[in-house]
Structure 1
């Protein structure tokens, strides 16, 4: 599950970069950038970041209670917290655009935390079973 969150962050980065380069290209071609401007990259970024990744973070947190990964709940909580912060920063950035920089930076934190959770789960999966 944490691997899917990591993949989602990568999709987010690709989508937002493609979206803004499309806007720049459209403006260079005489287009206008305003409140009605929307393209596939912005739409994908909104769907993946606003629904898919938060849902995956909730599922990861629920699964962590049953997975038997040492400190797995802690890792899942870190990922979940970073995802919640990411959504808050996204909405707050509309009012305070400078927070958009923190939104971008926090995306890297979400990716790192998800990768760490994935690594810990893989290590736990390879560990020999404890004798009862």
Structure 2
């Protein structure tokens, strides 16, 4: 079960990379389209006929962020109860909570653009939490505890 936990944690981190790449592709494509004469206004957004190189990035970012990432995070949290990794439930819980916050930030950022800043910061936090969770699983599997939980200090 520790391997499942580790793989799921690394998958969350990978999904953050995919999310960043998808939105960067979308924004780059949209910028190029506008610079070449495309016009983006409410009518175009509501018509759902907008077509530019990169539009798929917005679709991937939205679907991935609202379905795939939450599902993986939920599976990580569930697996954490069985994996018996020191601190594993805590880190999986942080991953899951961060994903929930990210989903809400993404949903409401259209109405409150400043939330986009928090959404970007949240992505970095999610990546870090997922990597820490995965590394704790690796340490538990190899029989090593992470340094912070050993209760000893480094002496130079």
TM-score by length of 2: 0.79
The structure with the larger Rg is 2
- Once the two structures are TM-superposed, the CA of residue 20 in structure 1 deviates from its matched residue by 0.4
RMSD (CA atoms)? 1.2
- State the distance in 2 between where 1:96 and 1:89 align: 9
- State the distance in 1 between where 2:108 and 2:21 align: 22
- Once the two structures are TM-superposed, the CA of residue 108 in structure 1 deviates from its matched residue by 0.3
In structure 1, the gaps of 5 or more residues are none
| 1:25 equivalenced with 2:37 (yes/no) | no
- State the distance in 1 between where 2:59 and 2:67 align: 12
| 1:68 equivalenced with 2:75 (yes/no) | no
Please, which moves more after superposition, 108-117 or 92-101?
A: 92-101
For residue 10 of structure 1, what is the aligned residue in structure 2? 17
TM-score by length of 1: 0.93
How many residues align? The count is 128
In structure 2, the gaps of 5 or more residues are 1-7, 145-156
2:59 is matched with which residue: 15, 20, 43? 43
**Where does structure 1 differ by over 3 angstroms across 4 or more consecutive aligned residues?**
none
- Once the two structures are TM-superposed, the CA of residue 28 in structure 1 deviates from its matched residue by 1.2
Q: Deviations over 1:76-128 (max 9, x none)?
A: 00100111010111112122111111001100000000000000000001007
